[in-house]
């Protein structure tokens, strides 16, 4: 648990509260995913699991189901970044892969677009690891062949694919992966960037400049939902 900030300024205490909230949320997600995995192994269907959450089978499977294949179909550099993210998570003693680990994985790219953007803005591995969100877990992580994938990371991967498609790329690269991380509200990667003094909007602007696109093209649009009109609404 992080140190108390009783003697610090109100702003510092608020920052500690926000960071702690993120950590508790991620820990809670990891705990739930672990027991969802156990429930699936014991034979529970996604329908039964969805009922436990008070939601649909599809919603439960989308949020807590493992990707078809980790890390999935990506450009070679992005694939390497996601593989490094899993290695970073294990090195930090985590039983899951989160957006923060992908940020480390992207930064380690040799000469990738995402790595160049992060380095240009002053983001370093030492700086990221020095934040309170990146502290090593003293406990040994569970022996898992494949680490759990956090819900916010799943969202980021989906956003990255949509951003790549919008830009006319069939396979997402590191630039789309970085843009995808920035679009997820509450993502730990975004909070860590703020802690090292880098605003997400600045990352997006620099990324857009290097790709020669507008920054708003690097924000994933939500899928459109069809509006269902009732018979009474037609009569009105």
Q: Is the pLDDT of residue 19 over 60?
A: yes
pLDDT for 33 beyond 70: no
136 vs 151, residue with greater confidence? 151
- Collapsed DSSP state (helix, strand, coil) of residue 16: helix
Does the pLDDT at position 141 exceed 60?
no
Q: Are 107 and 119 in contact (CB under 8 A)?
A: yes
| Residues 112-137: tens digit of each pLDDT | 999 999 999 999 999 999 987 787 76
Residues sharing a CB contact under 8 Å with residue 120, sequence separation 6 or more, in sequence order: 206
Domains annotated on the chain, with CATH: 1-65 (no CATH), 66-222 (1.10.1780.10)
- What's the rounded Cα separation, in Å, for the pair 169 and 163? 9
What pTM was estimated for this model as a whole?
0.69
Q: Please report the pLDDT score of residue 232 as a whole number.
A: 40
Q: How far apart are CA 18 and CA 188, in angstroms?
A: 11
Give CA–CA dist 78/157, Å, rounded: 11
- Which has more pLDDT, 189 or 59? 189
Strand-pairing partners, residue 149, are 97
Q: What are phi and psi of 97, to 5 degrees?
A: -105, 125
Alpha-carbon span 115 to 174, nearest angstrom: 8
Rounded-to-integer distance, Cα 184 and Cα 198, Å: 16
- Range list of β-strands (E), 27-76: none
pLDDT confidence tier of residue 235, bands split at 50, 70 and 90: very low
Tens digits of residue pLDDT in 154-203: 999 999 999 999 999 989 999 999 999 999 988 999 999 999 999 999 99
- Spatial contact of 83 and 108, defined as CB atoms under 8 Å apart: no
Q: What tokens were used for 137?
A: 């877990």
In angstroms, the CA 131 to CA 189 distance is 11
């Amino acid at each position: 648990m992080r140190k108390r900030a009783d003697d610090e300024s109100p702003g510092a205490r608020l920052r500690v509260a926000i960071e702690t909230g993120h950590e508790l949320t991620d820990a809670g997600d990891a705990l739930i995913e672990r027991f969802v995995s156990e429930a699936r192994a014991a034979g529970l269907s996604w329908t039964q699991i969805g009922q436990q959450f008070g939601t649909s089978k599809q919603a439960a499977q989308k949020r807590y189901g493992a990707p078809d294949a980790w890390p999935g179909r990506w450009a070679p550099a992005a694939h390497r970044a996601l593989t490094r993210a899993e290695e970073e998570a294990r090195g930090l003693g985590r039983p899951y892969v989160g957006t923060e680990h992908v940020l480390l994985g992207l930064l380690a790219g040799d000469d990738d677009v995402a790595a160049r953007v992060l380095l240009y803005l002053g983001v370093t591995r030492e700086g990221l690891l020095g934040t309170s969100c990146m502290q090593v877990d003293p406990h040994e992580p569970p022996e898992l062949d494949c680490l759990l994938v956090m819900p916010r990371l799943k969202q980021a991967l989906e956003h990255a694919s949509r951003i790549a498609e919008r830009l006319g790329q069939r396979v997402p690269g590191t630039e789309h992966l970085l843009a995808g991380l920035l679009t997820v509200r509450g993502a730990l990667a975004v909070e860590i960037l703020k802690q090292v003094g880098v605003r997400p909007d600045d990352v997006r602007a620099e990324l857009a400049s290097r790709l020669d696109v507008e920054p708003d093209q690097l924000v994933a649009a939500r899928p459109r939902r069809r509006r269902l009109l009732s018979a009474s609404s037609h009569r009105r």
